Amino acid sequence: MQFLSDEWAEAYTTLINEDEAIQKKLKRFSSLFKYEVTDKEELPALVIEVQKGKCTSFG
């Protein structure tokens, strides 16, 4: 699985969304996370949105 690929983002969001301990701790947390490899311009940045502890979108 390639880092920052759609497959990686889906696995990341599934793990976060299915972990009850994370959900309990982050239930009031919302943010945007931007992942990028700055020295590899061919890899596009990935943004993951978290709303109330749940990953709601990525792209």
Sole residue written with tokens 């497959």: 7
Query: Which strands form 31-35's sheet, in the order they lie side by side?
Result: 31-35, 46-51, 54-58
Q: Rounded to two decimals, what is the model's pTM?
A: 0.75
Q: What does the CA dihedral 24, 17, 2, 58 come to, rounded to 10 degrees?
A: -110
Cα(53)–Cα(31) distance, integer angstroms? 9
Domain boundary assignment for the chain: 6-58
Tell me what pLDDT residue 34 has: 93
What tens-digit pLDDT sequence spans the chain (59 residues)? 888 888 988 998 999 899 999 889 989 999 999 989 889 888 888 899 999 989 998 88
Tell me what pLDDT residue 6 has: 85
